[in-house]
Amino acid sequence: MAFTLATWNINSVRLRAPLVLRLLEEEAPDVLCLQECKSPVEKMPLEGFAALGYRHVVARGQRGYNGVAILSKTPIEEVAAHDYASLGHARHIAGRLENGVVVHNFYVPAGGDKPDREVNEKFGQKLDYLAAMRDAFHAERPERSILVGDLNVAPREDDVWSHKQLLRVVSHTPVEVNHFTDAQEAGGWVDVTRQDIPSGRLYSWWSYRSPDWQAADKGRRLDHVWASADIASAAHGSRVLRDVRGWEQPSDHVPVFASFDL
DNA sequence: ATGGTTGATCGTCAA
């Protein structure tokens, strides 16, 4: 069974429900993972998604911040919803599809402005969160699993518009990249997007604060699709839907897609 | 070094 999966930081699922519906109609992924829903689950506009065939949902929400959801055309069974680093935030949900594949959907803390945990508590929380992910994957190495989400780290030099200018900017600092890589390696996760698109600049986020995002193109690749090593060879066809950044009243993130022959 | 924009919520925090 082949299926296509997408991940998208929607930055308010209620405000941008029309954009979610447009993506589902135009691209029809089998599974869509959303982050930053900024809504309790009971206030997410799930009826509209169900009307398009996405009748199966696992989600965690909270008022105003965070919030993750997995929409699926086929049944999905919730298998976990971890509060890594005990932040009390709705940042993770995991479900198992009928083919046995477990989908982890993450929204890693952004980490605030200053990349120093001594003066910025949020940066410390981000590092702690990534360390907790590492520990969890070390304790139980994932198999037949896919991990997606807004991981809020752009690990490679060609994942940012200027490696040199971002070395001290949160999302691309060496300490974050090290924590990110440790979590990835602890799980034996393969970066599916870079397996399919091995070289060249690739971004999934452009700041609202940067005018003329398209021409300036000061983007970062913060949104990721990983697969456990046992199924990584089944992945193909990764795409980053850059044009979605130009939709009306857009999210600052765009969807990232991958397909799997399993 | 600073400010730039957006969203939730309703003065301010988070991103």
Q: CATH number for the A2-261 domain, one of 3.40.50.300, 1.20.1560.10, 3.20.20.70, 3.60.10.10?
A: 3.60.10.10
H-run or E-run covering A193: helix A192-196
Distance CA A66, CA A9 (A): 10
Q: Is the CB of A218 under 7 A from strand B?
A: no
Protein CB footprint (7 Å) on chain B nucleotides: 4-9, 14-15
Residue A29 confidence (pLDDT): 98
Indicate if the pLDDT at residue A83 is higher than 90.
Answer: yes
The pLDDT of A65-89, averaged and rounded, is 98
Residue A35 confidence (pLDDT): 98
pTM score, two decimals? 0.98
Distance CA A80, CA A75 (A): 16
Question: Is residue A214 a contact partner of residue A250, using CB atoms and an 8 Å limit?
Answer: no
Distance CA A171, CA A175 (A): 10
Chain A residues 144-203 with Cβ under 7 Å of strand B are none
The pLDDT of A44-52, averaged and rounded, is 98
The mean of the pLDDT values for chain A is 98
Indicate if the pLDDT at residue A211 is higher than 90.
Answer: no
Q: Is the CB of A65 under 7 A from strand B?
A: yes
The pLDDT of A190-198, averaged and rounded, is 98
Chain A residues 89-128 with Cβ under 7 Å of strand B are 109-112, 122
Alpha-carbon dihedral A71, A72, A78, A79, rounded to 10 degrees = -110
**pLDDT tens per residue, range A116-137:** 999 999 999 999 999 999 999 9
Placement of tokens 């981000």 in the chain: A126
> Where are the domains positioned within chain A?
2-261
Q: What interhelical angle do A174-187 and A121-139 show, nearest 10?
A: 20
Residue A47 confidence (pLDDT): 98
Residue A135 annotated as binding site: no
Residue A177 confidence (pLDDT): 98
Distance CA A76, CA A56 (A): 6
Q: Tell me the pLDDT band of A1, cut-offs 50, 70 and 90.
A: confident
